[in-house]
Structure 1
Amino acid sequence: MKVKKSVLNVCVVLSLLGCGAAWGADATLGQAGRLLESGKGSEAYVLLESLEPERAGEIEYDLLLGLAALEAGQNTRAVFALERVLAQEPNNARARAEIARAYLALGETKNARREFENVRSMGVPAEVGSTIERFLAAVERLEDEARTQVRGYLELGLGIDSNVNSGTSRGEYAIPFFGGWMFPVGSGAKENGDTFTNVAGGINFRTPLQAGLAVTGGAAFSQRLNSNDTDFDNGSWDANLGLTKAADKNQYSLALQASTFRLNGERYRDAMGFTGQWQHNYDSRNQASLYLQYASLTYPGQAIRNTDRFVVGGAYAHAFREGQVIYGGAYVGTEMEKNELATFMGHDLVGVRIGGQMDLAPRWVGFANANLEQRRYHGSDPFFLSIRQDLQANINVGANFSPSREWHITPQFSYTRNDSNLTLNDYHRQVVSVTVRRDF
């Protein structure tokens, strides 16, 4: 069975074992090596493949051909070439690491596990050992796809929030409806800083129905407790149930979703809807996706705020040979008001996202992402007598430390700036937190 994998979940061992090896004075091999190092694996494969009848059996040639074939998605050809290398040099760690990747791409998890464990037993550096552990985790995930699996997690977080209520920093504001009179900003609308504790957990399952088709689902909760501003304690529950279908380089998913958000112990907003997604893996390093989301948003006791939310978007991700991953995407959408007399509750939106991650040290992965979203509301606000417009920016940076496969410690910093033409919706916010997570 041929299994495709996400470029976001796979690192490249070879970059850590010495990708930039010299290929001698051979001009053809030198050119192919340079193409590989510049990320042009398909071009290197075309250059080398035609020479196989006459050069098969040369260790340097076969190793390069194996690397190029793997980069070009020719996984079976990669196995054949790398087997010839190992027949002559059984202790060639580089060839064993790459043939393990080829087996993994082909879905031959038993062979992939054996070769990754062989490389690990050769006394590789700590950073390579950490990368191999992630490959072995990927092997385990693929093995799990053949049987029902249930996984869960628990999280505990501590942090400092400069603006727990997303309030304005201004002391007063004018209301045009009352002739421009100035009103003081109440304590509930003025920014308040506080420390907090967050508890979260969840459970997910996956049950295969037939080759490439599976039922997925899960449920999760989160509860945030502020030290002083308990009026802004909040929590959420959500659940999902859906289907995923893998077909060659494509994966399709459709899931029903339901959630509720609580503020100070009371239901504040409920959501019911679905998400559909198509994901395409071009090769081992490049992935694209398109998605559609719908949710009916209801506010108990505040029916005037109810809306239908539609969002459509796309994303692209690329993994470099050195292990770094970058991704970006864009989306557009609308929230349509359900009360035709409350057009100021609905809005159109457009946004962009960008982010990435990289290995910082053994067991440490750094990450950063940013999001910019513009919102324009459909009608004039009845008190401010103008159409609300927001431009919101979010930046998040941090690192994930994994002392073992089950434990993760994540310190991070996030910044939010919502630039709005309506005073009460104009705010900025900084959050510093540390989260400890245990997977089961």
Structure 2
Amino acid sequence: MRRMLHRLSFVGQRYLRCFAVGVAMVSTSAWSAVDTATLERAEAMLKEGKAEEVYQILEPLEVSGAGDLIFDYLLGTAALETGKYSKATFIYERILAVDPTYVGVRADMGRAYYGLGDFARAKIEFETVLTLQTLPPDLRSQVELYVKAIAERAEGKRTIFTAYLELGLGHDTNIGSSTAARSLILPLATGPFTYIPLPPTGRRTADTYTTVGTGGEVNHQLDERWSLVAGGDVRWRGYETYHDPNNWSADGRAGVAYSSGAWQLRGGVTGGTYYYQGERLIDNAGVNLDWRLAVGSADQVTAGTSLVQRRYVADASSTEDTDTYSGNLGWLTSLDGGTAIFSLSASGGVENAIEGRGEGDKRFFGPRIFVQKSFTPTIGAYVTVGATHSAFEEENTLYLKERREMLYDLGLGVTWSVAKGMSLRPQLSYVKNRSNAELYSYKKGDASVNLRMDF
């Protein structure tokens, strides 16, 4: 239960709280019974995650502050965040009696009822929130999932299933991520050698492709803090003209999550296989650990680490086997009254060549920025940009030097919710890899349209 409340707190409140407090500030600041400095201090402390301290400050002032929408909302939020659900519902009723259109308060009321175990009334409040026509599409889909979860838990169900099907059509300007050069001079140890890359995968070649993806996940709540999760995905990509790069993959995952207040810890295992040109090429297995903390109502910080083992099936390719150790840090915040999200993250690690790969181990690191904006209840867009620097430890035998690379990527897309559980996503991506060994430098662009159905 606390895990669900935490999810609602971060996903729903980051959009709705700003709206409710903003309206309250405009409509009541002129006659506030509690001094403005105290209210501003309380609001700032809530954003810092100090809900218990805010409650201790405001609760003694309730006799004089009750009826002031700013005061009531701040006190109600503090009560909700500290588990005083009955008190929170009492305060929210005062606000809704003045103006029942405060959507943020409706969402908080639903959370409070959920905390009390009153699933029926919690469901009513969230369904009321869903009637708002200007609700951002990503928030709408999240609230719909929560309504489904609340209904199932109200019926005594502790296990939730979700699934999806995705179909796509696209055009790739470089299906092999290969050089555009028609010939290259390689400075081998035995002397210069002229190498002629051959299409489609050796030299830059464009083609149209089709994709199909499907998967699902099951989540089982053990108690208020512990839950189990397992899922899997299968993806296939086929090209129209050149069939050599056709591929498909199957991946699975399982893990356990522990939630306590504003933070969540999740660990698990992964495994999968990758088929290329109709033959099984690579098997992989890994473990991961992720930590997430909600800071106030609008921010979230994350940290994670993982180990992934990649093993080539054919003995002739076993020298390419690797163990990759990586870590990441991230920060996410909501903007523009909750209709936009900004995220900044960084990752890095080492790819250990465990079977004597010619270039040895590879170290990598890089930043990423992600921005998402909702324009209407059914249309949103996103932009992501990243860069990754890679450095190999041993000399490349073709170029007689240690390889250094810088990979840049840009992605942007639009999500259109055409119906409940169905969305259409046109998207574009561009990748540029710069290497001090010309053979490994390349550029590629990709344009696609994907139809996704969630169940």
So what's the TM-score if we normalise by structure 2? 0.84
Partner of 1:402: 417
Q: Would the alpha carbon gap of residues 345 and 236 (structure 1) be closer, same or farther in structure 2, given more than 3 Å must change?
A: farther
How far residue 355 of structure 1 moved from its aligned partner, in angstroms, is: 0.6
Q: Is residue 2:193 matched to residue 1:181?
A: yes
Q: Would the alpha carbon gap of residues 46 and 248 (structure 1) be closer, same or farther in structure 2, given more than 3 Å must change?
A: closer
* Alignment equivalent of 2:6, drawn from 1, 4, 15: 4
Aligned equivalents of 1:296, 1:129: Cα separation in 2: 39
Partner of 1:246: 259
Aligned equivalents of 2:72, 2:120: Cα separation in 1: 22
Contact 1:23/1:29 (8 A) holds in 2: no
Partner of 2:165: 154
Partner of 1:269: 282
Q: Percent identity?
A: 20
Q: Is residue 2:16 matched to residue 1:13?
A: yes
* Alignment equivalent of 1:217, drawn from 230, 239, 243: 230
Aligned equivalents of 1:312, 1:142: Cα separation in 2: 34
Q: Is residue 2:335 matched to residue 1:328?
A: no
Unpaired runs of 5+ residues, structure 1, are none
* Alignment equivalent of 1:235, drawn from 227, 231, 248: 248
Aligned equivalents of 2:221, 2:19: Cα separation in 1: 35
Aligned equivalents of 1:132, 1:32: Cα separation in 2: 34
Q: Is residue 2:143 matched to residue 1:135?
A: yes
Q: How many residues align?
A: 435
How far residue 401 of structure 1 moved from its aligned partner, in angstroms, is: 1.4
1:13 is paired with a residue whose SS is: helix
1:438 is paired with a residue whose SS is: strand
Unpaired runs of 5+ residues, structure 2, are none
Aligned equivalents of 1:138, 1:370: Cα separation in 2: 31
Partner of 1:82: 92
Contact 1:156/1:198 (8 A) holds in 2: yes
* Alignment equivalent of 1:171, drawn from 182, 185, 198: 182
Matched letter for residue 383 of structure 1: L
Contact 1:73/1:283 (8 A) holds in 2: no
Aligned equivalents of 2:305, 2:387: Cα separation in 1: 19
Q: Would the alpha carbon gap of residues 60 and 391 (structure 1) be closer, same or farther in structure 2, given more than 3 Å must change?
A: same
Instruction: Deviation per CA, 1:283-325: give whole Å up to 9, x if none.
Output: 3322222211111111222011111111112222222333322
Matched letter for residue 167 of structure 1: S
Aligned equivalents of 1:252, 1:50: Cα separation in 2: 32
Aligned equivalents of 1:36, 1:297: Cα separation in 2: 51
1:288 is paired with a residue whose SS is: strand
Deviates more, 1:373-382 or 1:42-51: 42-51
Q: Would the alpha carbon gap of residues 380 and 160 (structure 1) be closer, same or farther in structure 2, given more than 3 Å must change?
A: same
Contact 1:416/1:430 (8 A) holds in 2: yes
Q: Would the alpha carbon gap of residues 298 and 347 (structure 1) be closer, same or farther in structure 2, given more than 3 Å must change?
A: same
Partner of 1:317: 332
How far residue 31 of structure 1 moved from its aligned partner, in angstroms, is: 5.8
Partner of 2:294: 281
Aligned equivalents of 1:244, 1:399: Cα separation in 2: 32
Matched letter for residue 310 of structure 2: L
Contact 1:127/1:362 (8 A) holds in 2: yes
How far residue 258 of structure 1 moved from its aligned partner, in angstroms, is: 0.9
How far residue 199 of structure 1 moved from its aligned partner, in angstroms, is: 0.6
How far residue 35 of structure 1 moved from its aligned partner, in angstroms, is: 7.5
How far residue 213 of structure 1 moved from its aligned partner, in angstroms, is: 1.8
Q: Would the alpha carbon gap of residues 186 and 213 (structure 1) be closer, same or farther in structure 2, given more than 3 Å must change?
A: same
Contact 1:165/1:192 (8 A) holds in 2: yes
* Alignment equivalent of 1:57, drawn from 59, 62, 66: 66
Matched letter for residue 127 of structure 2: E
Contact 2:212/2:235 (8 A) holds in 1: yes
Aligned equivalents of 2:10, 2:208: Cα separation in 1: 33
Q: Is residue 2:238 matched to residue 1:198?
A: no
Partner of 1:23: 28
Aligned equivalents of 2:253, 2:104: Cα separation in 1: 42
Aligned equivalents of 1:216, 1:138: Cα separation in 2: 16
Aligned equivalents of 2:115, 2:8: Cα separation in 1: 14
How far residue 273 of structure 1 moved from its aligned partner, in angstroms, is: 1.5
How far residue 17 of structure 1 moved from its aligned partner, in angstroms, is: 6.8
Partner of 1:392: 407
After TM superposition, the structure 1 = structure 2 runs for residues 364-383 of structure 1, keeping only pairs within 5 Å, are: 364-383=379-398
* Alignment equivalent of 2:125, drawn from 115, 119, 124: 115
How far residue 423 of structure 1 moved from its aligned partner, in angstroms, is: 1.5
Aligned equivalents of 1:420, 1:336: Cα separation in 2: 20
Matched letter for residue 213 of structure 1: W
1:330 is paired with a residue whose SS is: strand
How far residue 271 of structure 1 moved from its aligned partner, in angstroms, is: 0.8
Q: Would the alpha carbon gap of residues 53 and 33 (structure 1) be closer, same or farther in structure 2, given more than 3 Å must change?
A: closer
How far residue 216 of structure 1 moved from its aligned partner, in angstroms, is: 1.4
